Amino acid sequence: MLSQSIHIEISIANLVNLIKHMKNNALFLLLTLILLPSFAFSIGSYAAGDKLTVHAASGLILRETAAPTGTKVMTVEYGSLLIVQAEGLKKTPHSVTVFTGFTIKGFWVKVKTANGKTGFVFDGYLSKYKTPGSLPNDDPSDAGTIQERYLKMHSPAKGAKVNLPKGETRYDRHKVAYTNGAEVEVDMGEGGSSYTIRFNPGMTVEEAYLIGKAMWMEDEENVKSTISKGVISLMSGDEMTAMYVSVKAGIVNLVMQHAD
């Protein structure tokens, strides 16, 4: 969805201009409706009445109007739930540049807070997924990795854990599928570990980035963030911890690695 955003925007613009010259206006309208919305939203689909979680680390400003200049009502804390309101739904676009080459795009959306306050927030930092910090502190011995626990918090496991072939230097390789279509693959052994979350259809790159950063990179120092060929990369200053977000066959992948 975000992958190679600049090139995608140019390609879509060129395609639309080409289609405009077609005599079949019905075809133009159909293709516009199919193609453009998929690149217009930084968050998966949602509707009035849905409950979304704030993934902005420093909180999200609730404003009286749908604009960055709107009067501030309050700051909604990270992890808070907001209820989407119908007024002005997805009509006013907005964007935030996170680092060079990576811009989160979305819309202002009217919401209601847990204490009944209403106003507008930027939906690029909202998700149907809860924040990693929502995981309970008590961790039964059979609960699995934090990635497994996190996915299970949103959807039951689909069948038992599947063990994968492993070499002499690997002591655990397995994957777990979930009923919503998500999957996690674990690879642990000498030299380091890797955890890959393949999210359910509808998850966006932007949501995966915010989830992964909080889950995996929160305590790292001097993190270097880059994006190249559609892959978002985060690397700790000591190069021991890394995170990658990409899209493969329409599915968002979040890879978290740590070297021993």
CA distance 135 to 1: 27
Q: How many helices (H) and strands (E) does the chain have?
A: 4, 16
pLDDT averaged over the chain?
85
Report the pLDDT value the prediction gives residue 145, as an integer from 0 to 100.
94
| Amino acid present at 175 | K
Q: Burial level of 167, CB count in 10 A (0-12/13-18/19+)?
A: exposed
Q: Which residues of the chain have pLDDT under 50?
A: 1-40
Q: Which two tokens stand for residue 240?
A: 């021991």
Range of the domain at 148: 132-259
- Are residues 170 and 232 located together in one domain of the fold? yes
Report pLDDT digits (tens) over 225-260. 999 999 999 999 999 999 999 999 999 999 999 998
Q: Are residues 165 and 240 in the same domain?
A: yes
Q: Are residues 148 and 253 in the same domain?
A: yes
Nearest to 153 by CA among 138, 174, 134: 134
Longest dimension (CA), the chain: 65
What is the per-residue pLDDT for 143? Answer: 72
The β-bridge partners of 256 are 195, 243
Per-residue confidence (pLDDT) for residue 2, from 0 to 100: 33
Number of domains in the chain: 3
Is position 215 within any domain?
A: yes
| Domain shared by 138 and 235, yes or no | yes
**Are 114 and 139 in the same domain?**
no
- Rounded Cα distance, 242 and 255, in Å: 8
What's the whole-model pTM score?
0.82
In this prediction, residue 222 carries a pLDDT of 97
For residue 145, give the nearest of 194, 107, 72, 87 by alpha carbon: 194
- Do residues 89 and 199 share a domain? no
What's the pLDDT score for residue 142?
60
Contact partners, residue 235, CB within 8 Å, separation at least 6: 223, 224, 241, 242
Question: Nearest-5° angle of CA 25, CA 88, CA 35?
Answer: 35
Residue 103 and residue 62 in one domain: yes
* Rounded-to-integer distance, Cα 47 and Cα 211, Å: 21
Query: Would you state the pLDDT for residue 42?
Result: 65
Residue 88's pLDDT is: 80
pLDDT for position 136:
80
Secondary structure letter of residue 119 according to DSSP: E
Domain co-membership, 137 together with 255: yes
pLDDT > 70 fraction of the chain, expressed in percent and rounded: 82
